[in-house]
Structure 1
Amino acid sequence: MSDDTTTMTTTTDVRVPQLTGVPANEAHDRALDAGILAVAENAFHTAAGRAHVGRQEPEAGTPVEKGSIVRIWISSE
């Protein structure tokens, strides 16, 4: 009797969406849709969604594990 039991580790990679240049509230939605979480690294926010993402890490297109965090910096422009 042979034991052909194989242990498989599955990690689901997703690609980081383009968040730079989009409104902060849309960036959060895009990240969630991709299976990741966008976390603002600065506390600057403006009312009514006028603030946009000025920078993100990692960059768009980078493969990351589902559930990862992408850091964003919010700009007032």
Structure 2
Amino acid sequence: MGSHQVLPLPASDEVTVTIIADDTPKVDEVFEPRTLKRTVAVGTFYTVVSLGAFFTLVLAFKFISEGFVLLLTVTQHH
């Protein structure tokens, strides 16, 4: 077997210096409380969306269960 020698890479003379200056003024976040009108509107929106999703799930369940009942009645007649 031959002898293998690993040589290190030559040292580089280039240096990268990164200076991070935090001179940008920080903006204080002002908390604005929600108005009653917006709170009621958001609550109504979420309620309508939730009820719509619930009724869609109920209809899908009914559709699937009726399909299974129909499948059982068809298979029992044959």
The answer to whether the superposition gives a TM-score over 0.5 is no
TM-score normalized with structure 2 length:
0.22
Query: Structure 1 or 2: larger helix share?
Result: 2
Rg comparison, structure with higher value: 2
Which structure carries more relative contact order (alpha carbon 8 Å, separation 6+)?
Answer: 1
TM-score normalized with structure 1 length:
0.23
